[in-house]
């Protein structure tokens, strides 16, 4: 047990032994006796694990069935197991899957259960944790690595075909299967939460169970060895984040789940890394954060004005109210024309360009002529830019209106599909 304490070596223990027993055995004999003793213990105990250093994690081979009470469908809960190297103190829980969100969530809850963070986490080469297994340089899943960075823990996967690397967790899993899962084999469950309530009680009993070949229990060893050596938990829990590569469109928007988010327009056509949480969308270009959005769970667009080119920013400032107010300065007929142009389109924005074009015709032909051209267009029901431009170009605004001698606005009959002037105020 003393060898599990931080900085303690066999040489130090031998020196302390000789100080109290000057005529005791030599160091080589001392080491031989230690090896003989270690060989008599379980295989997992032959390795010396430093207090607070390693947490071994894996899934049990056994699952627990549970029944969806609404559909009657039978599911099989996965059992996540985490074992501290020095004390064998164990955490386990049931999850729906072994997929990345559940894998990360189980780590977060394991750290909370321990009340601290070990220096190293040792997973098997599960796809959720290790993107590419390699003897010398395994590739860690990006979300898993981000979670590890949040807690300040190193991820060191067990080497392939090296059973001693994961012997600790394999024996821990075996104990969980015998002391917990076997006891639950005949029970019927209807939710993951119900399974975890049953596991919690049996897990406490397992951690309090006395060792057969050593004094104490997993909990007592945890209290005396591991607990003080664990690093403190961060102030906030890690929030699960999904990473995804996306390419920005020509309209400087990227798509995620049928919603489009803007990025600065200079990044159009570039490939970005997207970090997605339950509340936010973060965009990174070559590891540099370039945009952050609140996550929206429906179809549509989210556009930040500063992401747009200058000419687009100016266009985006237009509204139906502003266009109609601008037209009123020219005259009542022009305002009525602009209103009808906007109402004639399914979406007001579809008419903005044409309306701006009409108003700019006043600079070329004069605003008096534009007002007369609008009167003719209203009379004929010609609510388009091309009609106004044609009237002015051909000088038709200077000619009498067909079958009318008044300059009063021509009021078109109302209809259920026409918004009316009050719609924009």
φ and ψ of 245, to 5 deg: -90, 130
Within this chain, do residues 100 and 175 fall inside the same structural domain, yes or no? yes
Torsion of Cα atoms, 257 then 261 then 266 then 272, to 10° = -40
Residues 5 and 147 reside in one and the same domain: no
Q: What SS3 class is residue 392?
A: helix
Tens of pLDDT along the chain (425 residues) come to 566 555 567 777 777 777 887 888 888 887 887 777 776 655 444 456 788 899 999 999 899 999 998 899 999 999 999 999 888 999 999 999 999 999 999 999 999 999 999 999 999 877 666 765 555 556 788 899 999 999 999 998 876 655 555 676 788 888 888 889 989 988 999 999 999 999 999 999 999 999 877 788 999 999 998 999 999 999 999 999 999 999 999 889 999 999 999 999 999 999 999 999 989 999 999 999 999 999 999 988 898 989 988 876 666 667 788 888 889 999 999 999 999 998 888 777 778 878 888 988 998 999 999 999 999 999 999 999 999 999 999 999 998 887 654 444 444 444 444 455 454 44
Same domain, 142 and 90: yes
Same domain, 78 and 36: no
Q: Assess if residue 347 is contained within a domain.
A: yes
Residue 344 maps to a domain:
yes
Instruction: State pTM to two decimals.
Output: 0.61
In a domain, 146, yes or no: yes
The CATH number of whichever domain residue 172 belongs to comes to: 3.30.420.10
Q: Three-state DSSP class for 87?
A: coil
Helices (H) and strands (E) in the chain, counts: 13, 15
Are 117 and 177 in a shared domain?
Answer: yes
Same domain assignment for residues 368 and 399:
yes
Q: What whole-number distance in Å separates Cα of residue 210 and Cα of residue 18? A: 31
Q: Who's near 373: CB < 8 A, 6+ residues apart?
A: 361, 365, 388, 391, 392, 396, 397
197 shares a domain with 56: yes
Report in angstroms the alpha-carbon separations of 200 from 102, 103, 193, 234, 324: 18, 19, 11, 24, 67
**Residues 171 and 210 reside in one and the same domain:** yes
CB neighbours of residue 68 within 10 Å? 11
Determine the structural domain holding residue 329 and report its residue range: 318-424
Q: Is residue 307 part of a domain?
A: yes
How many CB atoms neighbour CB 164 within 10 A? 13
Q: Residues 290, 253: one domain?
A: yes
Q: What is the DSSP letter of 411?
A: P
Domain shared by 207 and 283, yes or no = no
Give the Cα-Cα-Cα angle 115, 153, 48 (nearest 5 degrees). Answer: 85
Residues 205 and 246 in one domain: no
Burial of 299 (0-12, 13-18, 19+ CB in 10 A): exposed
Same domain, 32 and 55: no
Contacts (Cβ under 8 Å, ≥6 apart) of 211: 217, 218
- Taking the C-alpha atoms of residue 108 and residue 232, their distance in angstroms, rounded to an integer, is 13
Task: Using the 3D structure, point to which of 313, 340, 365 is the last residue of a domain.
Answer: 313
Is 234 part of any domain?
Answer: no
């Amino acid at each position: 047990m003393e060898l599990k304490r931080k900085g303690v070596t066999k040489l130090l223990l031998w020196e302390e032994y000789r100080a109290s027993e000057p005529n005791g055995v030599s160091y080589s004999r001392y080491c031989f006796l230690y090896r003989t003793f270690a060989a008599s213990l379980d295989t997992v105990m032959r390795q010396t694990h430093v207090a607070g250093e390693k947490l071994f994690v894996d899934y049990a081979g056994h699952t627990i069935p549970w029944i969806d009470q609404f559909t009657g469908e039978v599911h099989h809960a996965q059992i996540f197991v985490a074992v501290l190297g020095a004390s064998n103190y164990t955490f386990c829980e049931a999850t729906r899957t072994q997929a990345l969100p559940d894998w990360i969530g189980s780590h977060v809850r394991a750290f909370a259960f321990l009340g601290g963070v070990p220096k190293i986490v040792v997973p098997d080469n599960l796809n959720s944790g290790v993107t590419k297994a390699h003897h010398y340089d395994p590739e860690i899943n990006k979300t898993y690595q981000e979670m590890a960075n949040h807690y300040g823990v190193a991820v060191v996967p067990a080497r392939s075909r090296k059973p001693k690397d994961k012997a600790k967790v394999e024996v821990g899993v075996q104990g969980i299967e015998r002391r917990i899962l076997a006891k639950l084999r005949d029970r019927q469950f209807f939710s993951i939460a119900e399974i975890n309530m049953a596991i919690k009680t049996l897990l406490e009993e397992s951690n309090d169970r006395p060792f057969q070949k050593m004094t104490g229990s997993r909990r007592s060893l945890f209290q005396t060895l591991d607990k003080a050596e664990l690093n403190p938990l961060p102030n906030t829990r890690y929030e699960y984040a999904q990473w995804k590569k996306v390419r920005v469109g020509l309209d400087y928007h990227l798509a995620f789940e049928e919603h489009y988010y803007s990025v600065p327009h200079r990044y159009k056509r570039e490939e970005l890394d997207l970090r997605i949480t339950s509340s936010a969308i973060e965009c990174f270009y070559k590891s540099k954060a370039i945009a952050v959005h609140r996550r929206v769970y429906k179809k549509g667009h989210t556009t930040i004005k500063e992401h747009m080119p200058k000419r687009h920013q100016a266009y985006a400032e237009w509204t139906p109210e502003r266009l109609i107010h601008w037209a009123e300065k020219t005259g009542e007929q022009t305002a009525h024309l602009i209103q009808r142009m906007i109402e004639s389109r399914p979406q007001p924005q579809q008419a903005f360009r044409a309306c701006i074009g009409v108003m700019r015709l006043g600079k070329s032909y004069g605003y008096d002529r534009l007002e007369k051209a609008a009167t003719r267009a209203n009379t004929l029901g010609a609510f388009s830019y091309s009609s106004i431009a044609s009237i002015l170009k051909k000088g038709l605004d200077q000619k009498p209106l067909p079958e009318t001698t008044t300059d009063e606005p021509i009021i078109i009959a109302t209809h259920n599909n026409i918004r009316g002037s009050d719609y924009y105020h």
